Chains A and B, each alone.
Chain A
Amino acid sequence: MTLVEAHGVGRRVELPDGSRLDILQGVDLVVEEGDRISIVGRSGSGKSTLLNLLGLLDAPTDGELEFQGRDVRRLSSGARDRLRGSEVGFVFQQFNLLPGRTALQNVQTPLLYDRGSGFWQRERLAREMLERVGLGARLEAKPDRLSGGEQQRVAIARALVRKPKLILADEPTGALDLETGAEVMSLIESVADESGAALVTITHDLAIAARSNRHLRLVGGRLEPLDAAPSAPAVPAPGTLASSVDPALDERLTA
């Protein structure tokens, strides 16, 4: 099933001085259920902007964008919010946990917006999800008591607790060391596998990019495929990350 379909999508903003800036231009992208997509690109190339569009946080100024067959621009803002809540899960680079709340409370947050049975079972669902990411013993810990890797695992539990069809990860390993980053990625992938969700990952890390099966890059607001997929998409063992990256990929990326 097609989750997202973008045709000639553009995002333009008006700058304070009155001039216009095209952050994205002519983006074509189809995300199918179960896809593993990585997007690389330099800082400021529009990666986050694209992710916001895919996740219904933003609407395009040009082109057509459909989410599960529905024209995003014709959805009311409330409908868009509810659709996002039930179908999309975000994982951010800086974790974005709610400060002062326990891990359990953080993971319950999305379920507060579930108007079905999820709300009433929020505590059980959140606990199960935290156990799934290996934090069953840290339910009552607040973010400032958790390591970066643990915080990101709480964030993953939160992103996935409503079983979204689309997981959007914006540099999820950017604030973590190499080894922890690889562990976190494995976790996202395996949890996504379980629910058959599509995963779109933005990353600077070529080893992380190499783990997906479709590789894209953003250059100056335009999305293009990385022509040759990495030869060895198999998951590299931690510790061998750097050496497993295809040098040619690195060249194409930084070109």
Chain B
Amino acid sequence: MIRALGRAATGAVSTIVEAGEELRIHRGRVLLSLVGVAVAICALATVVAAGSIAEQAMREQQERDGGRPATYQIDLSGMSGPLDPATAAPAWETALARHGIEFAARSAQFMTDVQFADGVVSTSIEAVDPDYGPMRRVQPILGEWFADGDAGRLAPAVIVNENFWERLGSPPLETHPTVQFVGAEPRTGVVVGVVENRGQWDTDPWAYLLFDDAEALMAPSPDPMFGGLYVTYAMWLPEGDAEAIASSVVDALELELAGVDVQVSQYRTDYAAYGDDPFAQLKLVIGGVAAVVLLLGALGLLTIALVTVRTRIREIGIRRSFGATAGRVFFSVLMESVVGTFLAGVVGVGISIALVRSPLAAMALNTDDVQDLPGFPVEAAVVGIGAAVLVGALAGLIPALTAVKVKVIDAIRF
């Protein structure tokens, strides 16, 4: 048993060794075709990588705007305008708890006056719950997003945008820089994080505050604006039964808010809500181009592999006369092709990585804003190497069959 295994293992190793040696002997001949395969694989991997990066960029953009799949928003408005957040809060908490919803965040936008060194500026404030960060992929470039314990601090935690931070004099966060909110009852906030500006058009300072802190900040003031504040209630739900959960949350809210002048409704806001896959067409085009490129590479490889085998009929006959079985000859020719294209695939992917990582590509793909950008998409490397091996196996199949059909006696007679 062990002996048989040992013999099988020796057989496998010797097949690979033989293929490697054959490849080395015929490297001149195969090199040309492998250059073609390497180029095709490089193109394929680059196209897949660029596509994946572009898709990631598009996805993140859409997620920033509409949330990640599946994001549902609840609208709580009555005849006289939006529902007062203080009235809504307990009902919202109860409905979330009852449905075991992990990610949910309220958000509201309002203006407040902030004291900067050069004067008071009316500044936009985004009042959000802590889950807003992961739900919208907000990642501070300095410091941290809000933690759950941040709410209710004496000096509320503030996350500012780059403009805001620069107007504060770009202080290191370790020095706990403060923000002066001026108004009926002035407050001091502490900057715990800095986020990127939203784009080139985003030239004003703005800041995130925790919803509960913002409420406290505004509460003492009799400002009628806060009463009419429009609050967005968003939930990030598992994609499978999001629709059912959202409807059930609406029912629960209606029950909790019975007797209150309010109309409860829900709607989905993430990109996946529109059609099946917004990237399907892009993927199709990219896949088509890659397939054509690879097909051409495979045809070139096949032609050269066939010629190579035909010139080696005598060698195959000699090998057979020294004990090579038909199966051995088949695998050895096939392996030669696969080992070759595998190496070509590695080279092609390597070049592709260099291309995609070059500053030129970053410019072309406009990846500045992509957050989850991997050095090189793993799927592109896997697709590239996988396609190379597959092409090697397919292109090697016909020559391998040709090699098996060699009649030993005819091959070695002269």
Using a CB–CB cutoff of 8 Å, the interface residues on chain A facing chain B are 48, 52, 55, 57-58, 77-78, 81-82, 84-86, 90, 92-94, 96, 98-101, 105, 109-110, 112-116, 119-120, 158, 162
Contacts and interface: CB of A to CB of B under 8 A. Distances in A.
A55 B321 contact: yes
15 contacts: A52-B409, A82-B325, A85-B323, A90-B321, A96-B314, A105-B21, A109-B319, A109-B322, A110-B323, A112-B324, A113-B322, A113-B324, A113-B325, A116-B10, A162-B323
Contacts of A85: 322-324
Contacts of A100: 25
A92 B321 CA distance: 11
A113 B7 CA distance: 11
Contacts of B326: 77-78, 81
Contact of A58 (B11, B315, B328, B409): B409
A101 B25 contact: yes
Contacts of A98: 315, 318-319
Contacts, number: 75
Contacts of B408: 57
Contacts of B84: none
A78 B322 contact: no
A116 B6 CA distance: 8
A129 B18 CA distance: 20
B305 to A, nearest CB: 18
A203 to B, nearest CB: 17
B17 A112 contact: yes
Nearest to B326: A77
Contacts of B222: none
Contacts of B14: 112-115, 119
Given A101-B25, A110-B322, A112-B17, 4 more contacts: A78-B327, A113-B324, A115-B8, A119-B10
A80 B392 CA distance: 30
Contact of A86 (B17, B323, B328, B413): B323
A82 B327 CA distance: 11
Nearest to B13: A119
A115 B322 contact: no
Contacts of A113: 14, 319, 322-325, 328
Given A98-B318, A115-B14, A119-B10, A81 B412 contact: no
A58 B320 CA distance: 12
Nearest to A93: B414
B311 to A, nearest CB: 10
Interface in B16-46: 17-18, 21, 25
A4 B17 CA distance: 33
A81 B318 contact: no
Contact of A84 (B18, B25, B321): B321
Nearest to B18: A112
Most chain B C-beta atoms within 10 Å of own C-beta, residue among A52, A58, A93, A98:
A98
A81 B324 contact: yes
Interface in B386-412: 408-409, 412
A192 B98 CA distance: 91
Contact of A57 (B10, B11, B321, B414): B321
Contacts of A78: 325-327
A48 B322 CA distance: 16
B323 A84 contact: yes
Contact of A120 (B10, B11, B320, B323): B10
B323 A81 contact: yes
B322 A77 contact: no
Contacts of B319: 98, 109, 113
A253 B78 CA distance: 121
Contacts of A93: 414
Most chain A C-beta atoms within 10 Å of own C-beta, residue among B10, B314, B322, B413:
B322
A80 B21 CA distance: 25
A98 B25 CA distance: 10
B56 to A, nearest CB: 48
B221 to A, nearest CB: 87
Which 7 pairs across A and B sit closest by C-beta, in order of nearness?
A: A85-B323, A113-B323, A115-B7, A110-B322, A81-B325, A78-B325, A115-B10
A172 to B, nearest CB: 14
Nearest to A105: B21
Contacts of B7: 115-116
Contacts of A58: 409
A90 B413 CA distance: 13
A111 to B, nearest CB: 9
A105 B413 CA distance: 22
Contacts of A116: 7, 10
